[in-house]
Structure 1
Amino acid sequence: MQVVKAITVLPGTPASVQLDDRPEPRGTDDALLVQAIALGVCGTDREIISGAYGWAPPGKERLVLGHESLGRVIETPQNSGFDKGDIVVGIVRRPDPVPCPSCAVGEWDMCRNGLYTERGIKAVDGYGAERFPLEPQYAIKVDASLGSLAVLLEPASILAKAWDHIDRIGARTRSWSPRTVLVTGAGPVGLLGAVMAQQRGLEIHVMDLADSGPKPDLVRDLGGHYHARMLPEDFRADIVIECTGALPVLADVMHRVGSDGVVCLTGVSGSGHRLPFDFGAFNRHMVLSNNVTFGSVNANRAHYQAAAEALAKADRAWLSRLITRRVPLDRWQEAFQRQPGDIKVVLQFEPDAA
């Protein structure tokens, strides 16, 4: 029996992550067989490794980790719409089996009953293996000229959804014409949100804790304004995209949006922490200014396609600077260990694909 290397974890058990041998998957009549090129690493992976999150597939103890995929099709069923050699990214979420009204129309990112599954996160093995099966309806063909930068597609899809919903909410008034966006957090999600703001012609402001390293220059090279640790007291924006989940930042940005403004929350906060917060002042500001605050998570196929278009339009050299570390498979543990200056860490299954 031939085997492939796969990164697996025992959900709920801290420090159980390991590199396993798994039976080599085979192509089927309803799935592509994909050779892994690269795998992006994010905070969700580290949460699962810590034992705080994640579910194994039914009937199994271990979960194959990884949801930010990039691979090459090596086997394909007939009439799949894909060819051998196509570069693809796998969508993360799968609709629930009921399905709920949202899942029934392909908006599984808006699942109403929580019965969805997610590759590498919830009840379905992920993409952290040398080869993996991928159903054609959940595969996105990407521009080959992006090369290994296409591994950024999954986090970019999160921001494509955020911008889609911001645009829809803004359209509630026919006169809405935003000029300024504030992004809090200059990680990969925040910076990808900023590049999409640039593509919309908006004035960009990004706030992050870092006062040195690559982040300030990345923002400035977009033509944006970088704010280390704090904003001017009187600063206001038409749109706020909050990407940190940090409670002091959340409490501050609620008041940083101007009239008819929109605040999109993409960062997930931990529970059990309290801050003094003047909810009355917040309510007054929201009501009298016609503001909207909403949360956004995950993405559907349309958002992946929009993200692919945004990445294709972005400057390749700028995108490449988001990937601050590339780790080969034989040193896979290093990919999940935070290091100073990290923005996006990528595990390379193909060493020559950088």
Structure 2
Amino acid sequence: MNQKLICKACFAHGKQDIRIDDRELTYTDDDVVIKIEAGGICGSDIHYYQEGHAGLSVIKHPMVIGHEFVGRVDKIPKNSKLKIGQKVAINPSRPCNQCQYCLEGKQNQCTNMRFMGSAQFNPHVHGGFSQYAIVSEQQCFPYDETVPAQVMAFAEPTTVAIHAVNIAGSLVGKKVLVIGAGPIGCLIIAAAKAAGAVEVIASDINERSQKISLAMGADHVVSPLNQEALATFTHNKGYFDVTFEACGAAAAIESTVHVTRANGTIVQVGMGASPVQYPVAQMLAKEISWKGSFRFINEFGIAVKWLEKGIIDPRPLISSEFPYQQIEQALITATDKNISSKVIVTFFD
């Protein structure tokens, strides 16, 4: 039997048009109702607000934004393993589990993916910046009551970072470069250290991001504008065993080949410039593996545990916090990278 509830939610209507509107949610006895506590603003949320689209995903009708969110269980199906009031992180990924890629265990390549807070399909898939959300039990990952919601709001981006590390392969004893010290880059830094990297160096133009990268575990930081410092990493066919490119700038993507040692690995995480000029001859001569890393597969539970146990501490990335009623100011603040890393939106009563 279908049931309904009315709540407030953050709807993107188009370019620079974000509104707090009533949202009518319909759920069945098989659904889980979550009372949202907190969420993190992602780059895609900023793009939807600033431009009315994120890449090729264009807002065609009002859509609830947000895919990094956590809350408490409010209603559960009969015989559920969840408990009312339990704190849960929500996996926003909704693969079909029926297509060829899903059946091969590659759910991030699902051809029918309905990712929460995405305008890729029409009708769009609403996100979690809402007082309540309807999810499946499989999307819910319980976590310890003592962990702040603001910390667990990093579950989804931490999952992206862990997936990138898994794509790279074993990092035990490896020398690692992370280009781009934004939230994803910094979480990759922390994940790489947790995975056994012996040295992790961060590269970013922004001084604020450089300082945060050190707080997140980088052994050293270098500016890509410092050509003399970068030149030391190109000697003898490169210095780094593994390079994670997490900013997407064309020059950064090109530079990865020069600083990665022969037979090393480059993991492309940043989704920026396309197409780019790429030094293919040098890449193949050094027999470098260039791998893409997109979203995640089955790493969400790992991310929740790492955050729960403090293996990764994302708190240096939290730059400000806004109640959902101030969502537009939160998005404007998140856009300014001189003052913001990760902006948290709260839904506490």
Shorter-normalised TM range: 0.7 to 0.9
Deviations 1:200-224 (A, max 9, x none): 232110111122x364254156261
| Alignment-derived partner of residue 95 in structure 1 | 95
Q: Do the aligned partners of residues 106 and 142 (structure 1) sit closer, same or farther apart at CA in structure 2, a change above 3 Å counting?
A: farther
C-alpha change, 1:32 and 1:105, in structure 2 (3 Å) is farther
Structure 1 residues 253 and 331: alpha-carbon distance in aligned structure 2, compared to 1, 3 A threshold: same
Structure 2 residue identity aligned to 1:69: F
Match of 1:239 in 2: 242
Aligned with 1:216 (options 211, 214, 218): 211
* Residues 178 and 238 in structure 1, CA contact (< 8 A), matched pair in contact too: no
Query: What does residue 165 of structure 1 align with?
Result: 167
TM, length-normalised to structure 1:
0.84
Partner in structure 1 of residue 265 of structure 2: 262
Aligned to 1:128: 129
Q: CA deviation at 1:105?
A: 4.9
Change in CA separation of 1:252 and 1:218 when aligned onto 2, cut-off 3 Å: closer
1:265–1:197 Cα change, 3 Å: same
Q: Gapped runs of 5+ residues in structure 1?
A: 171-175
Cα pair distance change 1:220/1:86, threshold 3 Å: closer
Letter in 2 for 1:86: Q
The CA deviation string for residues 30-80 of structure 1, in whole angstroms up to 9 with x for no partner, is 211111111110111122221233366xxx932211111111111111222
SS across alignment from 2:147: helix
Classify 1:61/1:210 alpha carbon distance in 2 versus 1 (closer, same or farther; 3 Å): closer
Matched, 1:330 2:325: yes
| Per-residue deviation, 1:91 | 1.6
Q: What is the deviation of 1:106?
A: 4.8
The AA in structure 1 aligned to 2:167 is H
Contact conserved, 1:207 with 1:228, CA < 8 A, in 2? Answer: yes
Unaligned 5+ runs, structure 2:
234-238
Determine which of 150, 153, 156 is the counterpart of 1:154.
Answer: 156
Structure 2-normalised TM-score?
0.85
Is the 8 Å Cα contact of residues 154 and 304 (structure 1) preserved in structure 2? yes
CA distance in 2, matches of 1:313, 1:196: 13
Q: Say which of 109, 114, 120 aligns to 1:117.
A: 114
C-alpha contact (below 8 Å) 2:257/2:279 kept by paired residues: no
What secondary structure does 1:146 align onto? Answer: coil
Q: Using the TM superposition, give the Cα deviation of residue 244 of structure 1 relative to its aligned residue in structure 2, in angstroms.
A: 0.3
Q: Residue 284 of structure 2: SS of its match in structure 1?
A: helix
* Coordinate RMSD, CA, aligned: 2.4
Contact persistence 1:26–1:33 (CA under 8 A): no
C-alpha separation in 1, matches of 2:212 and 2:115: 35
